[in-house]
């Protein structure tokens, strides 16, 4: 799984959570979504992907380094 998809999958695994990028990285490693030994630069790619997804509206940045899936709009 590429680092971007790994980060998004971690957020999908816990859709109500607001997670710091370090927690997203840790969960991606523990779940086996990324392997830093075979994917050089994966950590930096996860961080960059989270930032890009937040800028494009795919996810929400709630505070410095913390992200979540977009909330459904009421009504």
Q: Is the dihedral of CA 13, 26, 52, 2 positive or negative?
A: negative
Domains, in order of start, for the chain: 3-68 (1.10.10)
Distance CA 13, CA 65 (A): 18
Distance CA 17, CA 38 (A): 29
pTM: 0.91
Mean pLDDT of 20-31: 98
Tens digit of each residue's pLDDT (9 = 90 or more) over 28-61: 999 999 999 999 999 999 999 999 999 999 999 9
């Amino acid at each position: 799984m590429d680092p971007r998809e790994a980060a998004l999958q971690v957020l999908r695994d816990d859709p109500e959570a607001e997670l710091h990028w370090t927690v997203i990285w840790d969960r991606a490693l523990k779940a086996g979504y990324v392997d830093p030994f075979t994917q050089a630069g994966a950590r930096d790619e996860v961080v960059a992907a989270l930032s890009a997804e937040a800028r494009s509206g795919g996810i929400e940045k709630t505070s410095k380094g913390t992200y979540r899936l977009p909330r459904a709009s009421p009504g």
